[in-house]
């Protein structure tokens, strides 16, 4: 009997369905060995030698795998095709102490499994070294910075190498928003008609105030409207490339309202069930077989006019792309699944191999009372890839048939006062985009980064927007002041590139760790002695403390979210529950106020303020 070891029971079940007799497939349930939880586990004095121990609760699994390995004719390690998967395979190999083979596949299909079994290899020690180096960097930073944060900011805090940089982005965006000063301006529109068809024109000029707006409105009400120029052009709307991890997370966030964590959990399930290719990837490559299958499907189901003469080819700009991987796509294009994420992946893959859509864009320039107004219109000439992937929203109106010198009838003039707005707060989707652009993190790390900074209460999500908490802001400012290199975007990106170089065999993990730790360790002792204690801004409520009657109640942030406290702390130790009321919304069961709550893991939900008398709760914000 041959033994195949994978990470999860779902993956094991899918493999068994393809393999039949002669094989036994067992799951390690993820990592079986790791650095110790309560010790540093890395010895800088011994050239960063790691100390490993079996993960708590995994001893029975390890014992079972050891026993099965000794009685099996072959041991085959079939963990995921990335650094984490390679590290899991290596640790299992070290523990079972039996000669083993390594197989790699990027989709769980019969053909892929059979091909991998015919071409076994060995564990890639370069990938294992890169995974160790990431763990070592994260452990050295987190284990050494956290006690300083306890001492200088507040007890119970922790710091992460990449997470802290992500929080910095959110803090800096919040500071931009707070510093922003809005500027007044006015938009002026006219509603006109031609041969009974109404359409809208917009004044092509910045109007700074009401006085100027009133003058323009008065003139436009009395004016004659004549078409001065018409510009018509055909524009191609090229198909979007197939999904990679970051774009899948962003699309699921925008279209489905999912967090990055949920998206990866759902994608993992689809992969392990054999429905999609491996979902942790930054490569836009597609196999020739998959492209041929897509082209055949398009020709049969949509017609030849939707099929380009040559396959669409997509390339990454980044030099550190994992070229051996594919983009995320369905493993069988003819398979229909009632799953929102699968449908998105299917549509994007089919669409990426279709012809561009064609849109006729019209720009109309109109003269009136010395002013220039314009109207823009769009009309779909050929839907192309939108046929499969869904039409992109066209924001402009469809215009009537117009000619130069045409006179237009005025229906009304509208003036709208507006103010310039600051940049929007990040959503999970937009933050992932910026992290990717800056080279911070990799496909496997985006979701953990976002979930960790929220679980630690450094960042909170309101209406899908990420905002820093008072604690998150205080920690960010402290780290920026005393550990600027750790918080530097370019330095963090350089570390990621270094890890990529290690995975390719172009750099030693020991060299990277030595270069990093020599500066970092000397800075640690200086900060411990000289750093000033950070001040945490508090939100004042305007209410007196019910216990001492002297101090004002303020909102503070703890491990499990916000709570009320007396401003005179530690002289007065009063604390109370903080209820963040959702304005304008009532409990659907009892009409009491709805408040924002958090689970112990930091996930936000909505509940009735009369709990436990009313037990209504929802993950989704109730509608007005």
Q: Which positions are annotated as active-site residues? A: 278
For the beta carbon of residue 302, count every other beta carbon within 10 angstroms.
18
Summary count for the chain: helices (H), strands (E): 17, 24
Closest CA to 457 of 576, 570, 574, 563: 563
Could you tell me the two tokens for 603? 């996930």
By CB atoms closer than 10 A (0-12, 13-18, 19+), residue 97 is: exposed
Closest CA to 332 of 18, 81, 109: 109
Helix (H) or strand (E) holding 251: helix 245-256
Residue for token pair 């006085």: 211
What is residue 312's three-state secondary structure?
coil
Closest CA to 293 of 279, 274, 307, 314: 307
**CA atoms 136, 137, 138, 144: torsion sign:** positive
Could you tell me the two tokens for 98? 């039996």
- Rounded distance between C-alpha atoms, residue 263 and residue 248, angstroms: 8
- The three-point CA angle 566-567-571 to 5° equals 75
- Rounded distance between C-alpha atoms, residue 79 and residue 29, angstroms: 11
- Rounded distance between C-alpha atoms, residue 478 and residue 535, angstroms: 9
20 Cβ neighbours under 8 A, 6+ residues apart:
none
**CA atoms 61, 66, 70, 74: torsion sign:** positive
- Rounded distance between C-alpha atoms, residue 76 and residue 69, angstroms: 10
**Residue 222 DSSP code:** H
For the beta carbon of residue 206, count every other beta carbon within 10 angstroms.
9
- Rounded distance between C-alpha atoms, residue 369 and residue 221, angstroms: 9
Q: How remote is the C-alpha of 513 from its chain's centroid?
A: 28
**Beta strands at 74-77 and 2-6: parallel, antiparallel or unpaired:** parallel
Question: How far does the chain reach from its first CA to its final CA, in angstroms?
Answer: 62
- Rounded distance between C-alpha atoms, residue 156 and residue 525, angstroms: 20
């Amino acid at each position: 009997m041959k033994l195949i070891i994978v990470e999860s029971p779902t993956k094991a079940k899918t493999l068994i369905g393809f393999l039949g007799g002669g094989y036994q497939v067992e799951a390690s349930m993820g990592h079986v060995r790791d650095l110790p939880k309560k010790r540093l586990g890395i010895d800088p004095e011994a050239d960063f030698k790691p100390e490993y121990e079996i993960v708590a609760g995994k001893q029975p699994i390890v014992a079972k795998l050891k026993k099965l390995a000794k009685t099996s004719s072959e041991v085959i390690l079939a963990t995921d095709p990335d650094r984490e998967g390679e590290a899991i395979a290596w640790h299992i190999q070290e523990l079972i102490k039996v000669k083993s083979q390594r197989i790699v596949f990027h989709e769980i299909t019969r053909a892929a499994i059979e091909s991998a079994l015919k071409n076994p290899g060995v564990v890639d020690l370069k990938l294992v070294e890169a995974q160790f180096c990431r763990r070592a960097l994260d452990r050295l930073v987190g284990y050494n910075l956290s006690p300083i944060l306890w001492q200088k900011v507040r007890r119970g805090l922790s710091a992460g190498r990449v997470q802290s940089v992500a929080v910095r982005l959110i803090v800096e965006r919040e500071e931009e928003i707070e510093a922003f000063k809005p500027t007044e301006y006015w938009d002026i529109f006219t509603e006109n008609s031609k041969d009974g068809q109404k359409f809208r024109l917009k004044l092509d000029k910045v109007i700074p105030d009401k006085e100027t707006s009133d003058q323009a409105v008065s003139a436009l009400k009395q004016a004659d409207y004549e078409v001065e120029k018409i510009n018509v052009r055909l524009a191609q709307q090229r198909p979007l490339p197939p999904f990679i991890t970051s774009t899948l997370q962003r699309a699921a966030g925008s279209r489905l309202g999912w967090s990055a964590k949920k998206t990866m959990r759902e994608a993992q399930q689809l992969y392990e069930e054999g429905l999609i290719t491996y979902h942790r990837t930054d490569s836009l490559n597609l196999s020739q077989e998959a492209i041929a299958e897509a082209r055949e499907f398009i020709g049969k189901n949509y017609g030849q006019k939707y099929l380009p003469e040559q396959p669409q080819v997509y390339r990454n700009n980044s030099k550190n792309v994992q070229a051996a991987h594919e983009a995320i796509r369905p493993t069988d294009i003819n398979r229909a699944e009632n799953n929102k994420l699968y449908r998105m992946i299917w549509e994007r893959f089919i669409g990426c191999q279709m012809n561009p859509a064609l849109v006729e864009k019209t720009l109309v320039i109109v003269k009136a009372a010395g002013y220039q107004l314009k109207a823009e219109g769009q009309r779909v000439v050929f839907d192309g890839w939108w046929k499969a992937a869904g039409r992109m929203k066209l924001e402009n109106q469809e215009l009537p048939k117009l000619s130069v010198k045409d006179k237009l009838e005025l229906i009304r003039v509208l003036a709208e006062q507006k103010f310039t707005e600051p940049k929007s707060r990040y959503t999970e989707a937009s933050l992932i985009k910026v992290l990717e652009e800056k080279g911070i993190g990799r496909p496997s790390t985006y979701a953990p980064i976002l979930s960790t900074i929220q679980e630690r209460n450094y960042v909170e999500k309101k209406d899908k927007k990420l905002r820093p908490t008072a604690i998150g802001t205080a920690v960010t400012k402290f780290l920026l002041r005393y550990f600027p290199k750790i918080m530097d975007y370019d330095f963090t990106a350089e570390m990621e590139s270094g890890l990529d170089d290690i995975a390719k065999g172009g750099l030693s993990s020991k060299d990277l760790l030595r270069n990093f730790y020599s500066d970092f360790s000397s800075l640690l002792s200086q900060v411990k002695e000289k750093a000033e204690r950070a001040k945490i801004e508090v939100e004042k409520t305007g209410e007196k403390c019910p216990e001492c009657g002297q101090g004002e109640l303020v909102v503070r942030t703890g491990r499990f979210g916000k709570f009320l406290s007396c401003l005179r702390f530690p002289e007065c130790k009063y604390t109370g529950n903080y209820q963040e009321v959702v304005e304008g919304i009532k409990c659907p069961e009892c009409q009491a106020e709805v408040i924002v709550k958090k689970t112990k893991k930091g996930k936000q939900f909505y509940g009735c303020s009369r709990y436990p008398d009313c037990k209504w709760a929802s993950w989704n914000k109730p509608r007005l």
